[in-house]
Amino acid sequence: MAVLRKVLAGWLCGTLALISFCGVCGAGAATEYEVKAVFVFNFSRFVEWSPQAFSAPNAPFVIGVLGNDPFGAHLDEAMRGEQLDQHPLVVRRFRTVEEIGDCQILFIDRSENERLGQIIAALDHRSTLTVSELDRSSERGVMIQFTTENNRIRLRINVEAARAAGLTISSKLLRSAEIVSIRGGG
């Protein structure tokens, strides 16, 4: 009996350990850009654009990625089927800043680190919410910067940059983010 109990206990422990390892692996694999894709999508909910930001009332709400696309398919998955008011959500990927037409949210990839100043300048006075994961990018004029803290994604928001772009960021978003008061590029 004792032998059987030990065998049964060991089997149970093994099974439970396997399940928890798989969960951790899955989470860890999906976590960063999957979460950041959702975050980007969620920005559309907590930021208010002026109607002038759209060329037409039913013009698509464009979420652009400038530079390399770190999201893969996650961003598209996150946007699938979603709609903001009358505006269908569209993900567009831009190689250069010149390609950028109407764009409500622009994710600036790390690869654009060198050209960030230009990009910010190019986007000046356009109602485009700029998002980047570049270090200290918020101080350089990016409106929302992803940071990682204790293995968790945190936001740094340059409120003045957003206000300059004519965007109103929800106070709820502001509360859960770190406010950067230095206005970059301007």
Residues within the interface to other proteins (CB under 8 A): 35, 38-39, 42, 45-46, 82, 84, 152-155, 170, 172-173, 175-177
CB closer to other proteins out of 84 and 90:
84
CB closer to other proteins out of 94 and 146:
146
Smallest separation, CB 174 to other proteins (Å): 8
CB closer to other proteins out of 119 and 169:
169
CB closer to other proteins out of 2 and 151:
151
CB closer to other proteins out of 35 and 164:
35
CA dist list (Å): 128 to 15, 49, 119: 50, 9, 11
Residues sharing a CB contact under 8 Å with residue 21, sequence separation 6 or more, in sequence order: none
Smallest separation, CB 176 to other proteins (Å): 4
Looking at the DSSP bridge assignments, the partners of residue 93 are 65
Smallest separation, CB 135 to other proteins (Å): 19
Contact assessment for residue 133 and residue 146, using Cβ atoms and an 8 Å cutoff: yes
Contact assessment for residue 67 and residue 112, using Cβ atoms and an 8 Å cutoff: yes
Smallest separation, CB 85 to other proteins (Å): 9
Contact assessment for residue 61 and residue 89, using Cβ atoms and an 8 Å cutoff: yes
Question: Can you say how many angstroms the Cα of residue 159 is from the centroid of all Cα atoms in its chain?
Answer: 16
Smallest separation, CB 53 to other proteins (Å): 17
Residues sharing a CB contact under 8 Å with residue 63, sequence separation 6 or more, in sequence order: 40, 41, 44, 75, 79, 89, 90, 91, 92, 103, 104, 105, 106, 107
